[in-house]
Chains A and B, each alone.
Chain A
Amino acid sequence: MRRGWRAHSIALVLALLGMGVFLAIVASLIQEGLPAISWRFLTGWSTSESIGPELLNTLVMVGMTLIVTIPLGLMTAIYQEEYHYNPAKKRVATLSRVRATLLSAPTIVVALVVYRIAVGWWHWPVSVLTGVLTLSVINWPFLATLSAQALRGVPDSYRQASLALGASRLQTTRGVVLPAALGFLVEGWGLAFARLAGESAALIVTAGVNVSRHWSLFGPGETLAVHIWYIRTEGVSLNRGAEAAATGVVLMALIAVVVWAFGRLSRLLGGAQPPSQEVR
Chain B
Amino acid sequence: MGWVLALFCWCSGAWLTPSRHLTVAGATGSLAYLRRAAADFEKTYPPNTVALSGGGSIAGLVEVSLGRVDIGISDVAPQRQWTRGVDLSSLALGRIPLLIIAHPGVGVSSLSTATIRALYSGQVTSWAQVGGRPDPVVVMTRPLSSGARQVLQAKLLGDRPMSPDAVVVLSNGAMLAAVQETPGAIGFVESGIVPSRVALMAVGVTQFHSQDGATWPYAVTPTAYWKKSSSVWVRLLAEFLATRPYRRAFGLYPRAS
Interface of A with B (CB < 8 Å)?
A: 47-48, 67-68, 71, 119-120, 122-127, 129, 133, 204-205, 208-210, 212-214, 216, 218-220, 230, 232-236, 238, 240
28 A-B pairs with CB atoms under 8 Å apart are A47-B36, A68-B3, A71-B3, A119-B68, A123-B16, A124-B13, A125-B51, A126-B69, A133-B10, A204-B53, A209-B31, A210-B35, A210-B38, A210-B52, A212-B38, A212-B51, A214-B46, A218-B16, A218-B21, A220-B51, A220-B53, A232-B174, A233-B28, A233-B170, A233-B171, A234-B173, A236-B32, A240-B173
Chain B residue at minimal CB-CB distance from A213:
B42
Contact partners of B54 in chain A: CB under 8 A: 204-205, 209
Residue interface bits B43-59, CB-to-A below 8 A is 1, else 0: 10011011111110000
Q: Would you give the shortest CB distance from A241 to chain B, in whole angstroms?
A: 9
Let me know if B245 is at the binding interface, CB within 8 A.
no
Interface secondary structure of A, over-half rule:
loop
Q: Would you give the shortest CB distance from B156 to chain A, in whole angstroms?
A: 24
With contact pairs A68-B7, A234-B28, A236-B32 given, residues A126 and B23 touching in the complex (Cβ less than 8 Å): yes
15 A-B pairs besides A210-B31, A218-B16, A233-B173 with CB distance below 8 A are A48-B35, A119-B68, A123-B18, A133-B10, A205-B53, A210-B34, A210-B35, A212-B42, A212-B51, A216-B49, A218-B20, A232-B173, A233-B174, A234-B28, A234-B172
Contact partners of B18 in chain A: CB under 8 A: 123, 125
Number of residues from B at the complex interface, CB < 8 A: 42
Contact partners of B43 in chain A: CB under 8 A: 213
Contact partners of B53 in chain A: CB under 8 A: 126, 204-205, 208-209, 220
Q: Which 9 A-B pairs have the closest CB atoms?
A: A220-B51, A219-B49, A210-B52, A233-B171, A122-B13, A213-B42, A125-B21, A208-B51, A212-B49
Chain A residue at minimal CB-CB distance from B38:
A210
How far, in angstroms, from A240 to B195 measured CA to CA in the complex?
14
Contact partners of B32 in chain A: CB under 8 A: 234-236
